[in-house]
Amino acid sequence: MGNPSVAAPKSADPYLAFGSEKLLRLHDLMVKARVLEERLIKMSKSGDGFFWIGGPGEEGFNVPLGLQVKKGQGVQYDYLHLHYRSSAIMLALGAPVIDDIRQMRSVATDPYSKGRNFVNHPAVPDWNIVPVSPTIETQYSTSIGTGIAQAHTKTDAITIVNGGDGGTAEGDFHSCLVWANRPALPLPILIVVVNNGYAISTPEPTQHGERSIADWGKVFGMPSATVDGNDVVASWDAVAKAMAYVRKERKPYLLEAKCSRLYGHSSSSGANRIPEADCIQLLEAKMIERGLASKEDFEKVWHANQEEIDRAHQQVKQEPFPEPETIWEDVYSEGLPPSYPTKGGS
């Protein structure tokens, strides 16, 4: 037992070391993501959208990840191969809440898919957000491509891929591990798996013989870690460490984040609140305990985000649905861009 009269040094407490300003920024984004997802769920239940799937419960891991991305277009910036629970990453990158609401309502103003894809399936060329696919785990295969491009470029930019635990049983995940670890050309990929313990209704322990998903790193001698994704400061540090390694060494890193799935799988399973650990409640309790913020401070944050999302929702309700004659637009290429090389190569 330590001597209780001797105060622990400030830096020994990771939350105090992090500081209230940075924590409040994380908290605001986490609340924004939660309020947005809860609005999307309500929309799906009230006929103001067709289907919901999203990431409530993952904010504590996804916000720190999004804030540490080197954002931009092209090979000198990070590429993101995300999945359908990545809304908090998008908001941390600066995506406006209204665009997710537009995709939920399938309106023509949805900038990601012009109202044609499921909600939480963004695609943003300006930020290297590769189109999210509803087929699970295929993003691990596409990440190999941008990983190869960045392995051939002098840059500190990296490829980041994330997906679920269930999907790691599929070949795409293993293709990514094999390609990323080829001695001839290691790839600068941060391979993230968010482990929420389920694939729809199938519990992880009934399907995975490996003791932990992060253990796949051992097979390749690749650094790997498991982090409590409900702990926002631990997540920040784990992402910072993993990114620093990939940026510098130009080799892959496997990071598993254990997160809650607070509203079940999707609207198909009811999207009702589930009594699992809530990363926002945990953060608020830790900050209050340490005198870093008050209950009233948090109430203001929740209120301001509710108002922002209300306004955005009201606006989207005024926006048009796609015209039927646009159905074939963007299905096939309209031709090659002028920059495409037509001579040389194969």
Ligand X SMILES: Cc1ncc(C[n+]2csc(CCOP(=O)(O)OP(=O)(O)O)c2C)c(N)n1
Assess 85 for contact with ligand X (CB under 6 A): yes
Residue 70 is inside which H or E element, if any? none
223 CA to centre of own chain: 21
Residue 129 phi, psi (nearest 5):
-90, 105
Binding residues for ligand X, total number by CB under 6 A: 14
Residue 27 phi, psi (nearest 5):
-60, -45
150 CA to centre of own chain: 21
Segment near ligand X (CB under 6 A); pick from 114-122, 158-166, 233-241, 314-322: 158-166
Rounded least distance, CB 256 to ligand X, Å: 12
86 CA to centre of own chain: 3
Rounded least distance, CB 205 to ligand X, Å: 13
Rounded least distance, CB 219 to ligand X, Å: 20
- β-bridge mates for residue 162, sequence order: 192
Rounded least distance, CB 342 to ligand X, Å: 35
Residues 6 or more apart in contact with residue 271 via CB below 8 angstroms = 41, 44, 45, 52, 263, 264
Residue length, the chain? 346
Segment near ligand X (CB under 6 A); pick from 66-74, 133-141, 221-229, 281-289: 133-141
Q: Please give the residues from 230 up to 289 whose contact with ligand X meets the rule CB under 6 A.
A: 265
Q: Which of 199, 222, 246, 301 binds ligand X (CB under 6 A)?
A: 199
Q: Which of 134, 171, 203, 270 binds ligand X (CB under 6 A)?
A: 134
Contact 151, 186 (CB under 8 A): yes
Contact 147, 180 (CB under 8 A): yes
Residue 313 is inside which H or E element, if any? helix 295-317
Contact 68, 243 (CB under 8 A): yes
Contact 308, 101 (CB under 8 A): no
Assess 89 for contact with ligand X (CB under 6 A): no
Q: Which of 113, 143, 181, 196 binds ligand X (CB under 6 A)?
A: 196
Q: Which of 164, 217, 229, 264 binds ligand X (CB under 6 A)?
A: 164
Q: Which of 89, 91, 129, 136 binds ligand X (CB under 6 A)?
A: 136
Q: Given the complex with ligand X, which of 51 and 198 has the nearer CB atom?
A: 198
Rounded least distance, CB 315 to ligand X, Å: 30
Rounded least distance, CB 26 to ligand X, Å: 22
Q: Which of 200, 240, 244, 285 binds ligand X (CB under 6 A)?
A: 200
Assess 166 for contact with ligand X (CB under 6 A): yes
Rounded least distance, CB 12 to ligand X, Å: 35
Q: Given the complex with ligand X, which of 115 and 164 has the nearer CB atom?
A: 164
First to last CA, the chain: 70
Tell me which residue of 7, 25, 50, 1 sits closest to 236, measured CA to CA.
25
Q: Which chain residues interact with ligand X by CB under 6 A? A: 85, 134-136, 163-167, 196, 198-200, 265
